[in-house]
Structure 1
Amino acid sequence: MRRGQRGRACRTGHRPVHQPLASALTGGSVTKSNLPLDAGRLWSDIMALADITDPARPYTRRSFTTRFLEGRSWLARRFAEAGLTTRIDTAGNLIGRVEGRNPALGVIAVGSHSDTVPSGGRFDGIAGVATGLEIARALRDSGARLDHSLEIIDFLAEEPSEYGLSCVGSRGMTGSLDDRMLDLVEPGGEKLRDALRRVGGDPDRLPGARRSDILAFLELHIEQGIVLESQSLDIGVVSSIVGIRRLEIIFDGEADHAGTTPLQLRHDALVAAASTVSAVRRIAEQLDSEGLGYFVATVGILGVEPSASNIVPGRCTIVVDARTTNPALTKRFVAALDHESEAAATAARVRRSAFTTLSDGPPVACDQGLLALLRDAARDLGLAQTDLPSGAGHDAAFMSRICRSAMVFVPCRAGKSHAPEEWADQDAVAAGAAVILQAVKALDQSLQRR
């Protein structure tokens, strides 16, 4: 199974997994056409936001760009049209709010992110934000009003940004965005703190984004794997979210003429980097094979200077992304890679000038009480479900630092994500949104009994 998502169908008490979306429910009926929300309206929002893209690279709406801000403006208008009070907090998060009957009880939040990776997809993050919006409208249309206030959140820059940091907005909301991160610089020279100000945040008042009134956060997301599709399941209830550590390693050698410098006299930074890339894969395979938890590691950024065909590379930078459900494996990986990269530098006669942790998010177990509510909601809607760990990082992981947090996965075609081919069916997204809607209503009542 791909992207670290290993699961089996939880069939007890649910329909046989070979049947389509349930057509019957004890005490009533729920079908694709009468879920307790407007599936067509939800779908229309997802497609409309996807259309706000860089035409040369669909579907691209990178955080902090003009296109991203265009998408944000569209979302803000939709929030307002749905009757939500809308603002951008000091961490750059777009928030729409419906006051509850008793706002002093606190907030139930639903959301995700609207930014994409380059040439990304139409659903990653977007489906989660649109789900929150549709839940607010469905409650309004039915005449229901929660006792708790409801907030729909579009978190800033969940995807890795040009500043080398992901989950910028949820870090800010949870007090996890520090001055070192704000001083990160993108290739054009702009600091993250200046970019945050440019999109409506305020780095000078960042503590104001920290929340203590949010009691629970729910996020819908496409699975980004093939478990649900391959087993004909409707819903994945996310049991845990992997921890992600990103490391930057820099090798400094000497730039020389590629034709006149003998091999034995070269100080080639790329040779050391290439050896280290191989070590990343070798160490990760060993750790994953031990059965102590899921572990993967990737080198997705490789920078070579001066980057000319006739020059021996004088400097090379690599960024390593390591993900696991077991923090002890990350510790072992970093120690082994520290040793291997230093040895690679020595063998190539270059200097390893940096071995730096860019970001480090530990694994997160989703809240058991919320998981039970989501399972109950799926059961009551007649949907087949399973528990799944997430091999991808999400804003929900950071939100778990300040409140109860959980996620719902819906199937995506062939597990494709972060690509233009990313696809989830309308009925699948609507079913997942309905599960979260039902859980929100149940949560509104259960939180008052605690």
Structure 2
Amino acid sequence: MHAHRPLRIDRAAFAADIDALAQITEPGRPWTRRSFSPRFLQGRAWLAGRFAEAGLETRIDAAGNLIGRWSANNPHAAVLMTGSHSDTVPDGGRFDGIAGVLAGLAAIRALRAAGYDPVHTFELVDFLAEEPSEWALSCIGSRGMAGALSAKDLASLGPAGESLAAAIDRVGGSIARLDSARRDDILAFVELHIEQGPVLEAEGDDIGIVSGIAGIGRVRARFEGVAGHAGTQPMHMRADAGLALSRFMLALRDAARAVIGVGHFTATVGVAKLEPGGANVVPGAAEAIVDIRAEDDGAMAGFIEHLAIIAGEAAAAEGCRVAALTEISRTRAVACDAALRDTIAAAASSVSATTRPLASGAGHDAAFMARIAPSAMLFVPSRDGASHCPEEWTDPEALALGADVLLNALILRDQAPAGADLNRLPKGRQS
């Protein structure tokens, strides 16, 4: 590879890999490989075979992550890592996760075919259980790599009363050696992922350079009124908790739209329940879970505090009361590393890919990797913004172009010392 002339991945092989792994799915349920399931393990075995074919030393670490390693000549070299996950949500993993794992594999194949001599050791990772699992936890493998799996997490029970610790052991991890999964030797982590949203397609851009991964807050809101007969209770004499919740949801939408100037921000009610739940009963209670995503932690905190006002006004308007407004969980937002973002931008320019900054409203393994190493992400377009559904689709050439950007970003980071000009691709042999 000559200066200013980037490498490209093998498009046919990459597309074939995507198709082959996607086809490992539950019968009649495309595209489903739930973590810890037999289909997931089948997909893992397929991946391990492809890693080995590419010349990688393959292992499963103590946290259950599948890792392929290409060692540098220097045994003390730090690790340049890429990857994503191969597990899926039910009915929705045609590209989500596997695109990042297989783009990393395509990049390593291209480097090896070009006779590339890595300065740093390369590792390709399929993280265990990035999607929410039956143990009510997501990003299990990257949490383990970051030292963020607690004793409480490991003791949680899933199907048939199996503990998470036992499940990790069952898929090849080793909870007895969990500390060995924690890493302090990673130079940088770069993850390719589908956008899972409509922005890149709508704006006509090839690559989203992720500015940060939104923090996630969840709050339980409960309203209580008075249950009554739907036919005999006059409309003006009701204390309808369902209407209080409805007012709350509309006010929540308006308040979220009013949050401006702090980056990505959303608030959603995706779970709601009316009690007692009869078609002929005025709801005496209503409950919802509010999901809040924010690129700015201060915006998240202020919004959660403001929920008390929104809920109180909604309840009062219907003669009800706020019975509970409880914060269930909150994770902090994670900014992607600025230098790595510049590296991705330089790599995109080298292959004539257009870019735009874009926040991630979804969680990713990169958020936990950022606890232990500089981390960044790049997005490729999702058709109609669809994801976590059977219709999830990204054009093969859009995927391949994203893999080209990943490939050349890895080269730039591998060869550039601190303070180097990242707008110049390094010299090397022509592929």
TM-score band by shorter chain is 0.7 to 0.9
Distance 1:128 1:42 in 2: 11
Distance 1:98 1:448 in 2: 22
Q: Is the 8 A contact 1:233 1:385 kept in 2?
A: yes
Q: Secondary structure at the match of 2:59?
A: strand
Q: For the structure 1 residues 449 and 285, does the alpha-carbon distance in structure 2 shift closer, same or farther, using more than 3 Å as the test?
A: same
- For residue 218 of structure 1, the aligned residue among 171, 190, 194 is 190
Match of 2:372 in 1: 402
Unaligned runs of 5+ in 2: 421-431
- Count of aligned positions: 413
Distance 1:107 1:149 in 2: 5
Deviation for aligned residue 1:277: 7.0
Residue-by-residue CA offset, 1:133-174 (whole Å, 9 max, x unaligned): 112221222221312111111111212222222212212211
Match of 1:365 in 2: 335
Distance 1:419 1:355 in 2: 30
Q: For the structure 1 residues 93 and 312, does the alpha-carbon distance in structure 2 shift closer, same or farther, using more than 3 Å as the test?
A: farther
Q: Secondary structure at the match of 2:131?
A: coil
Aligned AA (1:377): A
- For residue 232 of structure 1, the aligned residue among 195, 204, 211 is 204
Aligned AA (2:359): P
Match of 1:295 in 2: 265
- For residue 286 of structure 1, the aligned residue among 250, 255, 269 is 255
Matched, 1:163 2:135: yes
- For residue 440 of structure 1, the aligned residue among 410, 416, 429 is 410
Q: Is the 8 A contact 2:222 2:286 kept in 1?
A: yes
Distance 2:109 2:62 in 1: 26
- For residue 303 of structure 2, the aligned residue among 320, 333, 356 is 333
Q: Secondary structure at the match of 2:302?
A: helix
Aligned AA (1:208): S
Matched, 1:197 2:169: yes
Aligned AA (1:85): E
Distance 1:335 1:345 in 2: 17
Distance 1:356 1:317 in 2: 13
Match of 1:421 in 2: 391
Distance 2:52 2:338 in 1: 34
Q: Is the 8 A contact 1:53 1:59 kept in 2?
A: yes
Between stretches 391-400 and 45-54, larger displacement belongs to 391-400
Q: Is the 8 A contact 2:224 2:241 kept in 1?
A: no
Aligned AA (1:283): L
Q: Is the 8 A contact 1:381 1:435 kept in 2?
A: yes
- For residue 66 of structure 2, the aligned residue among 94, 98, 106 is 94
Match of 1:54 in 2: 26
Residue-by-residue CA offset, 1:393-449 (whole Å, 9 max, x unaligned): 211122111111111111221221111111111111111111111111111112477
Q: Is the 8 A contact 1:287 1:329 kept in 2?
A: no
Residue-by-residue CA offset, 1:337-362 (whole Å, 9 max, x unaligned): 4676689899768964x93534x321
Identity rate, percent: 48
Distance 2:223 2:43 in 1: 39
Match of 1:178 in 2: 150
Distance 1:78 1:278 in 2: 53
Match of 2:326 in 1: 355
Q: Is the 8 A contact 1:221 1:407 kept in 2?
A: yes
Deviation for aligned residue 1:250: 7.5
Aligned AA (1:123): F
Residue-by-residue CA offset, 1:295-336 (whole Å, 9 max, x unaligned): 212233457899888999999875432101111222123334
Match of 1:3 in 2: none
Q: For the structure 1 residues 134 and 185, does the alpha-carbon distance in structure 2 shift closer, same or farther, using more than 3 Å as the test?
A: same
Match of 2:44 in 1: 72
Aligned AA (2:39): R
Q: Secondary structure at the match of 1:219?
A: strand
Distance 1:315 1:81 in 2: 59
Unaligned runs of 5+ in 1: 1-24
Q: For the structure 1 residues 76 and 320, does the alpha-carbon distance in structure 2 shift closer, same or farther, using more than 3 Å as the test?
A: farther
Matched, 1:377 2:341: no
Deviation for aligned residue 1:27: 6.4
Q: For the structure 1 residues 344 and 290, does the alpha-carbon distance in structure 2 shift closer, same or farther, using more than 3 Å as the test?
A: closer
Q: For the structure 1 residues 189 and 257, does the alpha-carbon distance in structure 2 shift closer, same or farther, using more than 3 Å as the test?
A: farther
Q: Is the 8 A contact 2:72 2:121 kept in 1?
A: yes
Distance 1:83 1:168 in 2: 27
Q: Secondary structure at the match of 2:216?
A: strand
Length-normalised TM-score, structure 2: 0.83
Deviation for aligned residue 1:99: 0.7
Length-normalised TM-score, structure 1: 0.80
- For residue 13 of structure 2, the aligned residue among 41, 57, 61 is 41
Q: For the structure 1 residues 317 and 191, does the alpha-carbon distance in structure 2 shift closer, same or farther, using more than 3 Å as the test?
A: farther
Deviation for aligned residue 1:213: 0.4
Q: Secondary structure at the match of 1:218?
A: strand
Cα RMSD (Å) of the superposition? Answer: 3.5
Matched, 1:412 2:412: no
Residue-by-residue CA offset, 1:184-227 (whole Å, 9 max, x unaligned): 44475443333323322233433222110011001111122233
Aligned AA (1:156): L
